[in-house]
Structures are given as C-alpha cells and as structure tokens.
Amino acid sequence: MRKRFWILTILLALAVLILPQRVAAVDEIAVKSGELDIGKISDYQKKYDSYDVGVCSPSSTKTYMDYRAITARGSRQYQYIRAHMKVDESTGFLYDEDGFIGVALGSYYGVIGDRYYFTLSNGNVLPLVKIEEKADAHTINGCAHGSDGSVIEFVIHRDYARNSFALSGNGLISSGNYNNNPLFRGQIVKVEKVTDEINPNYVEYHSKESIDVIEPTITRDIFQYASGY
C-alpha cells in the first residue's frame, strides 16, 4: 500500500508540473498563423473611411509586449485576439483580416477592437487595431505610458519577431523600440478612427490573368475592457 501511495503521489506531482505547460501550448496555438507584408506600409492605401481623433502625444517611442502575457481568459482582449487575430511568423506581429496590426493603446483611444490609422512624420501610415489596453494607472491621461512615453505598443509573438527584428545587446528586440526600424520611425502626426465603410475612392488592384495586366477596380461595398498590465 505504501509503495502504491508514493507512486500516486509522484504521478500527481508530475501532473501539476506538466499541466501549466499544456495550457500555455493550447493558448499559443489558439492564434492562427498567416502572412503579413509589412513592406507595403511605405505606400499603404487607406481602404476605409476615417475621421481625425487627435494626437494625444507625438511620441516616437514604440515598445512591444508578447501577446502570451495576456492570460485572463474572460477578458475582452484575450477573446478578441483569438477570434480575430493571426500571427505573422516572419515578423511576430498580430494582424486581422484587413492587415491591421495589433497594439496596446491607452484608454484615450477607445476600446478593444477599435481600429486606427496612425500617420508618422516619415509619411508612413500604420493601420492599427487595439487588442490590449494600457492601464490608466500606468499612463498619463490615458495616453502615453508613464515610464517610457510610448503611445504605440506592438503586441507580438516574441519568438517569431526575432526572425525579422534581431535581439540587441540589451536582449530586447530592436533595443526595445520599433522606432529603430525605418518603417516605423518618426513621431505621430495624425490619428484617425477607422469606420466600417469602405472609402469610395479606394482602388483595389487585381491581376487580369488572360492578358496579364493590372486593372484597377473601384470598391464600394459596405461591408470591453482590458486586464491592463
């Protein structure tokens, strides 16, 4: 009996140690993988109508966090990520079906699921979707993070991000600031809230296979709260 008791005790201890690893694995694969061409950011075309909501801070700092740190299963952001986002295995960015990149923003910029066009001083437009919220206690007026001044905080898969954005000497991706990458370099000069209506001036290009010509097509179809940290 004593031998059986010790065997059961050891098996139970092993189960306790293994279970968290299995849960983490399930959480990780719950977000699908896909492909995102970030090179197109330099000539990004706004597909949806939008309106100006103001720049709460022009900060050029752009930090990051790993989406796997969001573990509250009942939170809106946890559920939103798994329902709407994919992981780009080449860059580690999370993005939705329209190519909007997942970020953490302060409460100044809406709720989980809100989408924005952030225009930088280098002329690039970043299509962003809020999938995590910076806690008000850690921001200045719900805007920039108090400790580093960042407004934009990319939500990434850190392991994949290392494929395109190497670790720096401090052990962080791009030294902990995506502003070090030319695509994301610059201050925030304009922020627009994106609507669900497609811009009537949006031109979507399709390849005409029969004559191998690029032909423009005008598209007119109309197609809550975080855990903080």
The pLDDT value recorded for residue 200 is: 87
**224 to 5, 20, 110, 180, 181: CA distances (angstroms):** 48, 27, 9, 32, 32
Residue 63 domain-assigned (yes or no): yes
Q: Are 194 and 209 in contact (CB under 8 A)?
A: no
The pLDDT value recorded for residue 118 is: 98
Residue 212 domain-assigned (yes or no): yes
The pLDDT value recorded for residue 1 is: 56
Residue 58 domain-assigned (yes or no): yes
Structure tokens at 2: 């004593």
Three-class secondary structure of residue 61 per DSSP: coil
Residues facing residue 93 across a β-bridge? 156
Residue 9 domain-assigned (yes or no): no
Count the domains in the chain.
Answer: 1
Residue 150 domain-assigned (yes or no): yes
* Main-chain dihedrals φ then ψ at residue 144, nearest 5 degrees: -85, 145
Could you tell me the residue range of the domain that residue 212 belongs to?
31-218
Which run of H or E residues covers position 86?
strand 86-88
Over residues 1-60, the pLDDT tens digits come to 555 555 555 554 544 444 343 334 435 545 676 788 888 899 999 999 999 999 999 999
Residue 179 domain-assigned (yes or no): yes
For the entire predicted model, the pTM comes to: 0.77
The pLDDT value recorded for residue 47 is: 94
Regions in the chain scoring below 70 on pLDDT: 1-31, 33, 205-229
Residue 143 domain-assigned (yes or no): yes
The pLDDT value recorded for residue 52 is: 98
Cα–Cα dist 173/7, whole Å: 45
Residue 14 domain-assigned (yes or no): no
The pLDDT value recorded for residue 132 is: 98
